């Protein structure tokens, strides 16, 4: 398996041309930044969470992104119905188990949702992936205290159990499905000092999954684009406050040349 | 009917002097940007949605802005009560039917709210206005796929039916009440790549309606100020990430000279 | 009582080294900015509000920050349980009575929460502190119409009644506990034209309280850091739109020299 700038660029162009509608049921913290990241990439975001309307919204969407930060019972019900409808319509689902391991509610909800309707892609940081796959790990809130290589065995096991792609973010992102693996080493540590960057990565993964039938490549392309736009944003900005807006500008202006010059991919 | 920079400037000065309290029941995505847009203009925002307190908050407010993005049953009840109280106290109501047409919940709620208490101003993009007024239109999420001129007949019919102003955003904004019409052609397409710009337009419309007894002029002045601040913001920024903050700076510093130089109004 | 740049710097270094987990139950408007302010300072934010998980989240946190903007019944129940658990575990609690006085729901909830579990620190603007402590004051939404010196007697009475620190923001911030008082005169009026600045101050107060056992000094240090980063942000920016991101950059880069050069403290 290889990851090439050409293949990423093809997806970026497809997203800009097709402007896929990405339905997000996400946490309150990340809503605005997620919507702006999708718009900057060229996709079209819609946020809708209540059980009374999620099935219809899934019905007009090209991807569904589920993010379990700031959970509550009514939202969980919305997530269940949206995922069931997406499965019925074959709309790709990305699930981000934010803060799984920090409470029984989060761990139980993430596992229940995945058991009921295995998503096409599970995307989280290393601590979250480990906590999702084993009871050994206790996460400390929503920030990762593990590296993606520490999550390797758990990610493989989750991928095999649910037949899905697992995308683990970190200094090196690990994206795998069964025995196929891709790695991306773009990005900058400053991105971890900005909230909702991981949530945005999951949303962009949804946009790529809407346009690329290979969930493995879609997930890897999204992480490469996140990392490269993050590097550009950090270079234009002067800290975690100015990074996000320059990241969005970079997403909007992202070129084939920038992808070629900056992609750091491995197997 | 004409729209002049002098009349807009008079309203901007009134808002800065009076700092009207604008009560917003709006969606999660738009909350922060909406509050910051009102503050930058010189108004004072308050967000409160629960049925247990909205009547009291309306009671201290000079305008009420209802935005149906990210709906849920409890919020709809808050909207009903807030609108009833605003009608009782003659507080101007602006209603933004975000994403109407995308689900039965949104379409039904928007129509029910408007039937129960006709707002002074309905403000939406062309797809939303068409979907609100007819069952022919299916919206695609929250972004518009129609032009304001395509919404012309529906906007007129809505205005006549409910005795309200209808403000339709687009490359050219159309603002009408019965047979009176105003048009504004300010703004830049980049604003459509930033979330919550339409929601902010509705909130600013509330601030203008608090200070100008002509709802038609208030609505048109708000769209002109949105468009001109958007142009200034786009010129200062380098993409959809840096546009919003420069837009807010521009709102805060907006001058009579800038209004004179940039207003593109028609009938 | 004196406030020194050295003591503030010691706390800033402790926060950066320990990265305390700060659990926030806060309003929808302030969520993203609050999380980013904590990250920029060096702390780790977690947002969780539902009664089903708040006790566990408190159990892994080093501070709890309760903010009553955008209240609803389910959230109030989450606040009650989180505060009870924090009291049981001796986790410091900061309570921000946003908009208290604007509705019976806000006033009643703030008072009920404080009576049930007196927080270690109450932090609000002058109008809010006056409204919390007496029925004479009617607040006008969430913005202050009083000065911190006008809130002096009420703040003293609240502090004595509940045995807590009261931190009153204003042109001069007043922080007192019983007969001990500190004052900070940093900051800029432009900060009042940006939403969620007060909410961020409360969140930073939580981070300082996690690392400094003196709640009085923790509260004062947080206000000094807010004010100084706000001054730096306003100098780097060009209005209320560009202030917040430069404020976050300044928080991230804050140095001992900047604290020494800018601290304006009094008794």
Q: Which residues of C are less than 8 Å from A142 in CB distance? A: 44-46
pLDDT in the model for residue B29: 97
Give per-residue pLDDT as tens, A62-114.
Answer: 999 999 999 999 999 999 999 999 999 999 999 999 999 999 999 999 999 99
Which residues in chain B have Cβ-Cβ distances shorter than 8 Å to C104? 53, 56
Q: What is the mean pLDDT of chain B?
A: 96
pLDDT digits (tens, 9 = 90+) for B179-235: 999 999 999 999 999 999 999 999 999 999 999 999 999 999 999 999 999 999 999
Binary contact (A44, B106; C-beta < 8 A): no
The C-alpha atoms of residue B11 and residue C252 are separated, in whole angstroms, by 39
**CA nearest to A142 within chain C:** C46
Structure tokens given for A110: 């993430």
Decide if pLDDT at B265 tops 80.
yes
Backbone phi, psi, residue A242, to 5°? -90, -15
pLDDT for res B138 = 61
Q: Identify the structural domains of chain B with CATH numbers, from first to last.
A: 5-266 (3.40.1190.20)
Confidence of residue B246 (pLDDT cuts 50, 70, 90): very high
Partners for A (CB, 8 Å, 3+ pairs)? B, C
Residue B136 or A179, more confident: A179
Pairing relation of β-strands B93-96 and B121-125? parallel
pTM of the model: 0.97
pLDDT tens digits, one per residue of A237-262? 999 999 999 999 999 999 999 999 99
Nearest 5°: CA angle at A93, between A91 and A97?
165
Please enumerate residues of A whose Cβ is less than 8 A from a Cβ of C: 27-30, 32-33, 69-73, 99, 102-106, 138, 140-143, 193-196, 237-242, 244-245
The reply, when asked if residue A183 is annotated as ligand binding, is no
Q: Could you tell me which of C94, C27, C91, C29 has the C-alpha nearest to residue C55?
A: C91
Output the pLDDT for position A17. Answer: 98
* ipTM > 0.85 for the complex: yes
Instruction: Look at B53 and C71 and tell me if their CB atoms are within 8 Å.
Output: yes
Each residue of B32-49: pLDDT tens digit? 999 999 999 999 999 999
Q: How distant is the Cα of A226 from the closest Cα of chain B, in angstroms? A: 14
Answer positive or negative: Cα dihedral of C115, C121, C127, C130.
positive
Q: Model confidence at C243, in pLDDT bands (50, 70, 90)?
A: very high
B47 labelled ligand-binding: yes
At residue B174, the pLDDT reads 97
The answer to whether A195 and C35 have CB atoms below 8 angstroms apart is yes
Chain C residue numbers with beta carbons less than 8 Å from the beta carbon of B253 are 238-239
Taking Cα atoms as reference points, which of A143, A197, A167 lies closest to residue A34?
A: A197
Best mutation target, A45, A46, A82, A194, to test chain B (most B CBs within 10 A):
A46
| Interface contact B33-A28, CB threshold 8 A | no
> What per-residue confidence (pLDDT) applies to A136?
64
Split at pLDDT 50, 70, 90, the class of C95 is very high
Q: What is the DSSP string of chain B?
A: ----HHHHHHHHHHHHHH--EEEEE--TTTHHHHHHHHHHHT-EEEE---TTTHHHHHHT-SEEEEE-TT--HHHHHHHHHHHHHHHHHT--EEEE-TTTTS-HHHHHHHHHHHHHS--SEEEEEHHHHHHHH-SS---BTTB--S-TTTTHHHHHHHHHHHT-EEEEESSSEEEEETTEEEEE----GGGGGSTTHHHHHHHHHHHHHHH-S-HHHHHHHHHHHHHHHHHHHHHHSSSTTTHHHHHHHHHHH--HHHHHHH--EE-
d(CA C170, CA C123): 11
Residue B96 pairs with which residues in a beta bridge? Answer: B67
Distance between CA atoms of residues C30 and C199, nearest Å:
6
pLDDT at A200 over 80: yes
Pairwise CB contact (< 8 Å): C52 & A33: no
Q: Which two tokens stand for residue B114?
A: 């408007």
Angle made by CA atoms B144, B146, B151, in degrees to the nearest 5: 115
Q: Among A38-52, C135-149, C170-184, which is the least confidently predicted range?
A: C135-149
Q: C141 and B246 in contact by Cβ < 8 A?
A: no
Confirm whether residue A167 is marked as ligand binding: no
Q: Which residue has the tokens 């602006």?
A: B94
Interval C184-212 mean pLDDT: 98
Distance from CA of C106 to the nearest CA of A (A): 21
pLDDT mean over A153-179 = 97
pLDDT reported for residue C13:
98
- Residue A151: strand, helix, or coil: coil
Residue C78's closest CA among C108, C105, C63, C56? Answer: C56
- At residue B144, the pLDDT reads 74
CB contact under 8 Å between A102 and C60, yes or no, is yes
Least confident among B51-65, C11-25, C139-153: C139-153
Measure B140 CA to nearest chain A CA, in Å.
7
Find the chain A residues whose C-beta atoms sit closer than 8 A to any C-beta of B: 21, 28, 31-32, 35-36, 39-40, 44-50, 52-53, 56-57, 60-61, 74, 233, 244-253
pLDDT of residue C141: 66
Q: Which residues contact A88 (CB under 8 A, 6 or more apart)?
A: none
Residue C222 and residue B47: Cα distance in Å, rounded? Answer: 26
Cβ–Cβ below 8 Å for B72 and A50: yes
- The arithmetic mean of pLDDT across residues C97-110, rounded, is 96
Residue C131 clears pLDDT 90, i.e. is over it: yes
CB-closest option in A49, A74, A248 to B240: A248
The predicted pLDDT at position C147 comes to 86
Question: Which candidate from A27, A102, A194 shows the least CB-CB separation from C39?
Answer: A194
Of A141, A195, A245, the CB nearest to C60: A141
Q: Contact B44/C141, CB-based, under 8 Å?
A: yes
d(CA C47, CA A98): 11
Whether B137 shows a pLDDT value over 60: the answer reads: no
Distance from CA of B94 to the nearest CA of C (A): 19
Question: How crowded is residue A193: how many other Cβ atoms within 10 Å of its Cβ?
Answer: 21
- Chain B residues within 8 angstroms (CB to CB) of chain C: 21, 28, 31-32, 35-36, 39-40, 44-50, 52-53, 56-57, 60-61, 74, 233, 244-253
Which of these, A217, A209, A147, A212, lies nearest to A180 by C-alpha position? A217
Q: Give A55 to chain B, closest Cα distance, Å.
A: 9
pLDDT at A146 over 80: yes
Report whether pLDDT(C136) > 70.
no
Contact B245 A245 (CB under 8 A): yes
Is residue B141's pLDDT more than 70? no
Residue A100, CB-side half-sphere exposure with 13 Å CA sphere? 29
Q: Annotated binding residue at B61?
A: no
Which residues of chain B have a Cβ shorter than 8 Å from any chain A Cβ? 27-30, 32-33, 69-73, 99, 102-106, 138, 140-143, 193-196, 237-242, 244-245
Does the beta-carbon distance from A239 to C248 stay under 8 Å?
yes
C194·B52 Cβ contact <8 A: no
Q: Per-residue pLDDT for C145 more than 90? A: no
DSSP string, B216-238: HHHHHHHHHHHHHHHHHHHHHSS
What phi-psi label fits residue C167: left (phi over 0), alpha (psi between -120 and 50 degrees) or beta?
A: beta
In this structure, the dihedral spanned by the alpha carbons of residues C48, A43, A231 and C259, taken in order and rounded to 10 degrees, is: -40
Angle at A248 between CA A242 and CA A254, to 5 degrees: 125
pLDDT score for A255: 98
Q: Mean pLDDT across the stretch C33-59?
A: 98
- The answer, yes or no, to whether residue A137 has pLDDT greater than 70, is no
Instruction: Supply the mean pLDDT for chain C.
Output: 96
pLDDT score at C137: 55
Give whole-number Cα distances, B212 to B20, C160, C241, in Å. 11, 47, 26
Over range B3-22, report the average pLDDT. Answer: 98
Mean predicted confidence (pLDDT) in B22-28 = 98
Quick one: average pLDDT of C64-77?
Answer: 97
C63-67 β-sheet, strand order? C44-47, C21-25, C63-67, C93-96, C121-125, C165-169, C173-177, C180-184, C265-266
Mean pLDDT score, A156-183: 97
CB contact under 8 A, C52 and A32: no
């Amino acid at each position: 398996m290889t990851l090439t700038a050409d293949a990423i660029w093809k997806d970026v162009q497809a997203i800009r041309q097709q402007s896929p509608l990405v339905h997000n049921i996400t946490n309150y913290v990340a809503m605005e930044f997620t919507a702006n990241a999708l718009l900057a990439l060229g996709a079209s975001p819609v946020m809708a969470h209540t059980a009374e309307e999620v099935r219809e919204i899934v019905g007009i969407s090209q991807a569904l992104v589920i993010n379990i930060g700031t959970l509550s019972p009514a939202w969980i019900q919305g997530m269940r119905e949206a995922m069931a409808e997406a499965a019925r319509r074959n709309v790709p689902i990305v699930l981000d188990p934010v803060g799984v391991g920090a409470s029984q509610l989060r761990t139980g909800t993430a596992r229940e949702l995945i058991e009921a309707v295995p998503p096409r892609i599970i995307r989280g940081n290393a601590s979250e992936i480990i906590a999702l796959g084993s009871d050994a790990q206790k996460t400390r809130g929503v920030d990762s205290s593990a590296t993606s290589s520490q999550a390797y065995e758990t990610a493989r096991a989750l991928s095999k159990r649910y037949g899905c792609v697992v995308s683990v973010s970190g200094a090196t992102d690990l994206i795998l499905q069964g025995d196929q693996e891709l790695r991306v080493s773009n990005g900058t540590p400053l991105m971890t000092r900005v909230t909702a960057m991981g949530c945005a990565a999951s949303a962009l993964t949804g946009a790529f999954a809407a346009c690329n039938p290979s969930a493995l490549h879609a997930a890897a392309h999204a992480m490469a684009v996140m990392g490269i736009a993050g590097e550009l944003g950090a270079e234009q900005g002067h800290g975690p406050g100015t990074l996000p807006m320059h990241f969005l500008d970079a997403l909007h202006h992202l070129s084939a040349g920038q992808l070629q010059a900056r992609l750091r991919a491995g197997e």
